[in-house]
């Protein structure tokens, strides 16, 4: 089976996974509902998990030709059987398993750790593995979720005694985890930005328990914790909050990247696999060939080749004729 990368992962001309431009194949698989993975048109048939379908229509627009799927249930494509499997990234996020002459697994964005709002990814056995490598360097090693939750809750409780805490997390995925942490670990009902409130409701509709929260609406004195999208957290916002509340503002962002910007604290909470999780996935999947994409793709491919003796290459650097050697 032929596949190649060209602003999306293509399998011939019939199937593309997460295309970045419109109408590139008859059948399109969208692995999850983050904006950089959602590109809709009116002609293609779209395949995704049922929760991803719900999020897309709530957050973006109606899908013209939707084909929502249950996890692990095979559906037919012209050249193979395809199934979606939990990737552990955000609600509804999927890995893709293609079963034809060879078995090909595409992880998309994934993590193996369970979180308060998401089960970790299932490891898919495959002949060929296409693995997302955002944190594909040994320097990226994250502590356990439980350890981070404990440290966050201790910090939040300490800072909210006499001050106000501003937490930053992406509206879809991270902010729901922060909502749950604030409730379950810190014992505080947070205020959440409108975009987060909307996604919280989708999560709850899908059966995910987040705890209590208030929608931000001129009610900053209803809690000592505010959760906002990172794009809105700027020094100017922190100054306005301090002026409005008459309190010191302590800010923190939950992310795998160690940049401080205007934040008082960074907590290493990522929805992507760290280096050790990446290596564990490859070892357990036991592929004959590995192709890497996103982040430190070339570096991780070199590591797999050197440490595990599995033929590996960055997907964007692999010409189609090279892929045919394995498929």
Written as one string, the DSSP assignment of 15-29 is: EEES-SSSS-SSEEE
Task: Output the CA angle 32-34-37, nearest 5 degrees.
Answer: 70
Q: CATH no. for residue 196?
A: 3.40.50.12650
Q: Does residue 178 register a pLDDT over 60?
A: yes
Which of 267, 293, 310 terminates a domain? The answer is 267
Sign of CA dihedral 313, 314, 320, 324: positive
- Counting residues of the chain whose pLDDT is more than 70, the rounded percentage is 97
- Both 133 and 171 in one domain: the answer is no
- Both 184 and 42 in one domain: the answer is no
**Closest among 106, 109, 98, 105 to 125, alpha carbons compared:** 105
The rounded distance, in Å, linking the Cα atoms of 282 and 277 is: 9
Cβ–Cβ < 8 Å for 83, 72: yes
The pLDDT value recorded for residue 23 is 64
The rounded distance, in Å, linking the Cα atoms of 275 and 190 is: 32
Instruction: Decide: pTM greater than 0.85.
Output: yes
**Closest among 189, 267, 195, 205 to 231, alpha carbons compared:** 195
- Both 86 and 155 in one domain: the answer is no
The pLDDT value recorded for residue 35 is 84
Q: Does residue 321 register a pLDDT over 80?
A: no
- Both 134 and 276 in one domain: the answer is yes
- Both 290 and 200 in one domain: the answer is no
The rounded distance, in Å, linking the Cα atoms of 319 and 234 is: 43
CB neighbour list of residue 209: distance below 8 Å, 6 or more residues apart: 180
Q: Does residue 320 register a pLDDT over 70?
A: no
The rounded distance, in Å, linking the Cα atoms of 251 and 156 is: 10
Which of 237, 267, 297 terminates a domain? The answer is 267
The pLDDT value recorded for residue 11 is 86
The pLDDT value recorded for residue 77 is 86
- Angle in degrees, 0-180, between the axes of helices 174-184 and 194-205, rounded to the nearest 10: 80
8-22, 83-97, 193-207, 295-309: the lowest-pLDDT one: 8-22
Task: Output the CA angle 181-187-188, nearest 5 degrees.
Answer: 85
- Both 100 and 200 in one domain: the answer is no
- Both 217 and 297 in one domain: the answer is no
Tell me phi and psi for residue 102, to 5 degrees. -130, 160
Supply the DSSP symbol for 97: E
Average pLDDT over residues 287-296: 96
Dihedral angle, C-alpha 129, 135, 141, 144, nearest 10 °: -70
- Both 320 and 263 in one domain: the answer is no
The rounded distance, in Å, linking the Cα atoms of 196 and 175 is: 6
User: Average pLDDT over the chain, rounded to whole?
Assistant: 93
E-only strand ranges, 45-179: 45-49, 66-69, 75-76, 81-86, 94-99, 103-106, 128-133, 164-168
CB neighbour list of residue 309: distance below 8 Å, 6 or more residues apart: none
The pLDDT value recorded for residue 40 is 87
Q: Phi/psi class of residue 49: alpha, beta or left (left: φ > 0; alpha: ψ in -120 to 50)?
A: beta
- Domain extent, residue 240, equals 145-267
Digit-coded pLDDT (tens) for 183-225: 999 999 999 999 999 999 999 999 999 999 999 999 999 999 9
The pLDDT value recorded for residue 322 is 55
- Both 126 and 178 in one domain: the answer is no
- Counting residues of the chain whose pLDDT is more than 90, the rounded percentage is 82
Supply the DSSP symbol for 119: P
Q: CATH no. for residue 283?
A: 3.60.15.10
- Both 91 and 14 in one domain: the answer is yes
- Both 95 and 191 in one domain: the answer is no
- Both 38 and 126 in one domain: the answer is yes
The rounded distance, in Å, linking the Cα atoms of 289 and 312 is: 6
**Closest among 253, 236, 239 to 155, alpha carbons compared:** 253
Number of domains into which the chain is organized: 2
């Amino acid at each position: 089976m032929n596949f190649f990368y060209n602003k999306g992962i293509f399998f011939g001309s019939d199937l593309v996974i997460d295309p970045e431009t419109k109408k590139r194949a008859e059948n399109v698989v969208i692995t999850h509902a983050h904006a950089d993975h959602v590109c809709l048109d009116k002609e293609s048939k779209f395949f995704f998990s049922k929760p991803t379908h719900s999020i897309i229509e709530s957050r973006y627009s109606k899908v013209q030709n939707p084909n929502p799927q249950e996890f692990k249930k095979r559906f037919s494509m012209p050249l193979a059987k395809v199934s979606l499997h939990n990737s552990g990234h955000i609600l509804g996020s999927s890995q893709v398993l293609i079963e034809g002459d060879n078995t090909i697994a595409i992880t998309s964005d994934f993590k193996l750790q369970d979180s308060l709002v998401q089960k970790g990814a299932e490891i898919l056995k495959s002949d060929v593995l296409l693995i997302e490598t955002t944190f594909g360097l040994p320097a990226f090693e994250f502590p356990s979720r439980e350890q981070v939750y404990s440290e966050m809750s201790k910090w939040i409780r300490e800072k909210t005694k006499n001050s106000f805490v501003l937490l930053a997390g992406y509206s879809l995925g991270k902010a729901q985890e922060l909502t749950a942490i604030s409730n379950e670990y810190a014992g505080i009902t947070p205020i959440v930005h409108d975009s987060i409130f909307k996604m919280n409701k989708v999560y709850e509709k899908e059966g995910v328990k987040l705890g209590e929260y208030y929608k931000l609406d001129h009610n900053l004195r209803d809690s000592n914790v505010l959760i906002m999208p990172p794009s809105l957290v700027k020094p100017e916002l922190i100054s306005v909050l301090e002026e409005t509340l008459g309190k010191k503002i302590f800010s923190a962002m939950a992310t795998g990247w160690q940049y401080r910007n205007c934040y008082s604290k960074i907590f290493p909470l990522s929805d992507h696999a760290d280096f050790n999780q990446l290596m564990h996935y490859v070892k357990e999947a036991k592929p004959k060939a590995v192709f890497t994409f996103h982040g430190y793709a070339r570096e991780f491919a070199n590591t797999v080749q050197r440490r595990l003796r599995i033929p590996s290459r960055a997907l964007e650097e692999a010409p189609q004729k090279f892929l045919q050697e394995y498929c």
